[in-house]
Amino acid sequence: MFLRQLKYLVCVSITLTISGGLFAQTTVKLATVAPEGSPWANELAKIKKKIESESQGQIKFKIYPGGQMGGENEILQQVIRGKLQGAGLTAGALANTVKELNVLEIPYLFNSYAQADCVLDDHLQEDFRKLFEAKGLIFVTWAENGYRSIGTKSAPVKTPDDLKGVKIRIQESPVHIAYWKQLGVSGIPIAIPEVLPSLQTGVVEGFDNTPLFTLAAEWQTAIKYFTLTRHIYQPAAILYSKKFWDTLNDEQKKTLMGEGNKLAPGARQAVRSIEKNMIATLKKADVVVYEPSNADLAGFKAAANAVSGQVIGKIGGQSKQIFDKIQKAKAACGG
């Protein structure tokens, strides 16, 4: 009797092992600076629900929104080290590690959302997948922050001359730094969680970001003016830690990767569909929103032309090849 029971237990143990560890639970801690309730955080919540359901509880997600795990640079380093299993981060932050992403941050690089989608999805996805993996990151899908514009406290910005000497919070990226310097701005890199208090105390007089992020982070409470320069289209990405990824079996990887880049259109569309409402909300919050004319934008675009020449040669890696491929892809994708 005892031998039969022992054989039964051994058989059960072998069966569980062969099945790929279906009864072992994996926890994925995923962080973002996107505030809770924002389209980005909501999209991550959908991904969490989908993966937990498909894995039948084998994979559990814990999402940390709103910069709970620090600014984007801090989150990125935690993912690379494997302390966090995943993240949703902007290209500007990721470019500090994957240098070639700086190319995507060049001001006025893309003429439209459709052009950006075509270039990123159809022409550059595999290039960046390899570049991410070489830096300890597993690419899941592109997302986006959108088109960045300028918010200020004391005076409206209509041309670059209005920015001379103004202290602006900038993203810590070579392209961003070069662009604001070209505009004559006193740029101060500040992590996302510290931007609002810095605006309130006068450490900075303004910032650049999307209308949606401005409202989601409540930065509109500290400004009076918002100028729709739309100077940088900023993609983002959802990524996993390669250190974490390499511990998983094939079934877990398949579930976590989901439908890959098919997740992106929903996430992007959620951001884009409410842009007009966000601009209207800024106005309701007594923020004066200015839509620059083509003549107003000419100065901003001229500064951008100078920046691309400055940074491409300095970024290193495959940046020149990526830039050239973007130009060729833009011609194929149209406007």
The pLDDT tens digits of the residues spanning 111-150 come to: 999 999 999 999 999 999 999 999 999 999 999 989 999 9
The pLDDT value given to residue 266? 67
The pLDDT value given to residue 76? 97
Contact between 212 and 271 under an 8 Å Cβ cutoff? The reply is yes
Rounded (10°) CA dihedral 321, 327, 333, 335: 150
Mean pLDDT of the chain, nearest integer: 88
Domain locations in the chain? Answer: 26-333
- How buried is residue 185: exposed, middle or buried, by Cβ count under 10 Å (0-12/13-18/19+)? buried
Distances 249 to 25, 58, 173, 255, 315 between C-alpha atoms, Å: 12, 12, 36, 10, 36
Q: In terms of pLDDT, which residue wins out, 17 or 325?
A: 325
Q: In terms of pLDDT, which residue wins out, 314 or 8?
A: 314
Averaged over 36-62, what is the pLDDT?
A: 90
Q: In terms of pLDDT, which residue wins out, 173 or 288?
A: 288
Distances 239 to 53, 236, 280 between C-alpha atoms, Å: 20, 10, 33
pLDDT band at 3 (very low <50, low <70, confident <90, very high): very low
pLDDT in tens, 193-250: 999 999 999 999 999 999 999 998 999 999 999 999 999 999 999 999 999 999 999 9
The pLDDT value given to residue 317? 87
Per DSSP, 35 falls in state P
CA distance 280 to 108: 24
The pLDDT value given to residue 265? 56
The pLDDT value given to residue 262? 52
The pair of three-digit structure tokens given for residue 41, joined into one six-digit string: 């955080």
The pLDDT value given to residue 103? 94
- How buried is residue 25: exposed, middle or buried, by Cβ count under 10 Å (0-12/13-18/19+)? exposed
**Would you tell me which CATH number, out of the four given (3.30.980.10, 3.40.190.170, 3.40.50.2000, 1.10.540.10), belongs to the domain 26-333?**
3.40.190.170
CA distance 43 to 29: 15
The pLDDT value given to residue 259? 63
SS3 118: helix
CA distance 29 to 25: 13
Q: In terms of pLDDT, which residue wins out, 310 or 214?
A: 214
Minimal CA–CA distance to 32: which of 140, 122, 111, 125?
Answer: 140
Minimal CA–CA distance to 332: which of 143, 102, 104, 124?
Answer: 124
Minimal CA–CA distance to 209: which of 149, 267, 252?
Answer: 149
SS3 67: coil
Distances 260 to 48, 76, 126, 264, 266 between C-alpha atoms, Å: 14, 20, 12, 8, 12
The pLDDT value given to residue 315? 85
CA distance 170 to 141: 25
Residue 59 reports pLDDT greater than 80: yes
The pLDDT value given to residue 108? 96
Contact between 88 and 56 under an 8 Å Cβ cutoff? The reply is no
The pLDDT value given to residue 201? 97
